[in-house]
A and B are shown apart, each in its own frame.
Chain A
Amino acid sequence: MKRLLKGGRVIDPVNGIDGVHDVLIDGDRIAAVGRDLPVDGASVVEIPHGLVVCPGFIDMHVHLREPGQEHKETVATGTAAAVAGGFTAVACMPNTTPVNDDANVTAYILSKAAEAALARVYPIGAVSRGSKGELLADIAELKQAGCVAITDDGHPVKTAMLMRRAMEYAGMFGIPLIEHCEDPSLKGDGVAHEGYIAATLGLRGMPGACEALGVERGVLLSELTGSAFHVAHMSARASLRAVRKGKEAGVRVTCEVAPHHFTLTDEALGSPIPYDTNTKMNPPLREAADRDAMLSGIGDGSVDAIATDHAPHHYDEKKVEFDRAPFGIVGLETAVSLSLDRLVHAGLIRLPRLVELLSVNPARILGVAGGSLSAGAPADVTVIAPDLRVRIEAARFRSRSKNTPFDGWELRGGVAATFVGGRPLFVNPEAGLAV
């Protein structure tokens, strides 16, 4: 069937489009973008004034937890959360049980994604078998089965030698190595950012240098091997400095920042709820200078992507002492609102740049379809409502887990609709859109 999204502001940076256009979808593909396209039997979706039609958003850092940790999330619940949050595709991390270090695990995840038929799922394979940092995983088979990148996320790749080999090997397929940057000995048993807040609360700290050391290592090895290196969930100002330095030197380094790292600081550990385990993640919420550096990197283009590091945990697992709680928060259903509120409405960036961060660049870094509304591209479309008043209600999340520090927050900007392969999989009734 044909569907005509009529009269919205269309932002498609790849094709240099930013203006009131129509978008014609034919089946699961984009047929055309243009002014006053003929209806020609298509069902018409009137885009109300103020809404913005974008190429589908891609969250390149998500933990779907399946197989093995289905009490936290499944591919079905995670991709339901994705479309509700405006994401047409997610890349899922390999730290499942078992680890996605084997083409059979990849195939299993993709079969679950096909069953759910919600957001597209791009599995990311492990660098090493069991992510143990000893032997390389079967990277060619993982790639063949559908993996789009490799990482030992949750941990850094154990040794510089293994990382070098993985980069060289993965370079043959043109897939990036995504790194959880961290020096394990400097992290020690840290549970929070090393700073005044952790010192006052009596929590063991991990300094920003712990992350930056990992970034420096990766940049150097990317330079050595010529392979693409992507910094996951960057949080420290010294890391940003290392990325900028690498980019200036022509190294193939890219980076992502999570909404919680450009929104919150370590002050959130003490207030409003002292020792709230939903403020515990790794890398941790850092001090204001780090948060401000992330904002400046987003503003000046040093940061390539916004990715959530969506890390669902069951409430039992989080309802414990701070130092015993697992790291991580969910992010799929809050990312777009936080980005609009904290980046666009704060005057830091304009909408086309936001579309680059959420769609164009993730597609480019992972080498996957999407990121544009070019004719013939998959009809993955996110319609946002930049001025919609949104109240975050964790209890209403589609995600199986509700571990967010943003419950009850009121933000300006939300998702109006999410189309995947031409199918409207999420429509927000509050945004005034009728599909």
Chain B
Amino acid sequence: MSAPVITKVDETPAITSLRRKDLLGIADLAADEITLVLDTAEAMKEIGSRPIKKVPALRGKTVVNLFFEPSTRTRTSFEIAEKRLSADTLNIAIASSSVVKGETLADTALNIEAMQPDMIVLRHSSSGACHLLSRICRSAIINAGDGMHEHPTQALLDAFTIREHKKRLQGLKVAIVGDLMHSRVLRSNIHLLTKMGADVWVCGPPTLIPTDITRSGVRATTRVDEAVADADVIMLLRIQLERMEGAFFPSLREYFNVFGMTEARLRLARPDVMIMHPGPMNRGVEISSEVADGPYSVILEQVANGVAVRMAVLYLLAGGAEHETAA
């Protein structure tokens, strides 16, 4: 079997595979594992630029995309990644309403397990759902977003995109602005960026800042100008309409006035600032259209890179080069 060509940009990473069965969160990963994923993703990205966008790395492997929450971007991205690696893929979308009537998550997973898949990509509204599956499943579990906990592949693709532009993560000022409390993207990004030595600032209304967030090694502020001043990267997080009902803030209009990313605020950042958003965006709420569509925005690059990063994760969890040698 021919391995995808791994081209290395900087020094060779000390490791060639992930030291784990599952990818449950960035919290568990060491810095060298993160670097390995990002380096591997560079090679994977090259595959996506070929006329024949397919390699046999996961031929004969079965990957189940088990989604309990609606998702377009993440599910599509995983599916394309799996197909480019020649895995056999299966999508199961379960509305949470049918779970209420039907079987438990554990039983659903065990039934899927009985059909001998190699990997399960899980998206679920409950924090810790992937940990539950990890304890009862033999298959590799990949977290595609669990509740408010983690969304590790999103953080990896964010880091990949930043690294492509800035050639490093160490020492960059990254400002993350929006609904911090309910965001799994935030939690994964905090783990990843602090492990890789970035200077992370988080910003939002005090009602949406998680308890003791600064214990995670980030700086927190409610003053958006302070957060974005001299920032290398500004990452916006989605503001959901229903948060008004929880009295987290009075109105979307007021939110935009106080925290929304506008061209005026952007000028406080470094001249080469990158604007990122994990999607889906609320234009005119957390980000103005001028900024979203403007020259600093890398939002669509993030989506493109998502495929390469997910290919890297799938490939490495399947055993990477070691697995292919053995096969």
Interface residues of A (CB under 8 A from B): 188, 194-196, 198-205, 273-275, 316, 319-324
The segment out of B69-77, B113-121, B147-155 that lies at the interface is: B147-155
B103-119 vs A, CB cutoff 8 Å, 1 = contact: the mask equals 01110000000000000
Could you tell me if A321 and B150 are in contact, using CB atoms closer than 8 angstroms?
no
Question: CB distance A321 to B211 under 8 Å?
Answer: no
- Central interface residue in A194, A199, A202, A203, by most chain B CB within 10 Å: A202
Which residues of B sit under 8 angstroms from A319, Cβ to Cβ? 104, 106, 132
Which of A195, A201, A203 is most buried by chain B, counting CB atoms within 10 A of its CB? A201
Q: Which residues of B contact A (CB under 8 A)?
A: 27, 104-106, 124, 126-129, 131-132, 135, 146-150, 181, 184, 187, 210-213, 215-216, 246
Alpha-carbon separation in the docked complex, A203 to B127 (Å):
7
Hey, which chain A residues are within 8 Å of B129, CB to CB? Answer: 321
Contact of A321 among B132, B187, B212 (CB under 8 A): B132
Contact of B187 among A195, A202, A205 (CB under 8 A): A202
The B interface, classified by DSSP as helix, strand, loop or mixed, is mixed
By secondary structure, the A interface counts as loop
Chain A residues contacting B132 (CB-CB under 8 Å) are: 275, 319-322
The smallest C-beta distance from B150 to any residue of chain A, in angstroms, reads 7
Contact of A194 among B105, B187, B211 (CB under 8 A): B211
Known: A320-B106, A321-B126, A321-B129. 4 other contacts (CB 8 A): A202-B147, A203-B149, A204-B148, A273-B135
Contact A202 B211 (CB under 8 A): no
- Flag if A202 contacts B131 (CB, 8 Å): no
Assuming the contacts A274-B128, A274-B131, A275-B128, asked whether A323 and B147 have C-beta atoms less than 8 A apart, the reply is: yes
A198 CB contacts on chain B under 8 angstroms: 211
Question: Are B127 and A322 touching (Cβ within 8 A)?
Answer: yes
Closest to B136 in A: A319
Given A200-B216, A202-B146, A202-B149, are A322 and B211 also a contact pair (CB < 8 Å)?
no
Q: Which residues on A sit within 8 Å (CB–CB) of B27?
A: 200
**Partner pick for A275 among B131, B181, B216, CB 8 A cutoff:** B131
Most chain B CB inside 10 Å of its own CB: which residue of A205, A320, A321: A321
Which B residues are in CB contact (< 8 Å) with A205? Answer: 211
- Given A195-B211, A205-B211, A322-B127, A200 and B104 contact (CB-CB distance below 8 Å): no
Closest 4 A-B residue pairs measured CB to CB? A275-B128, A202-B149, A202-B148, A321-B126
- Contacts of A323 on B, CB cut-off 8 Å? 126-128, 147
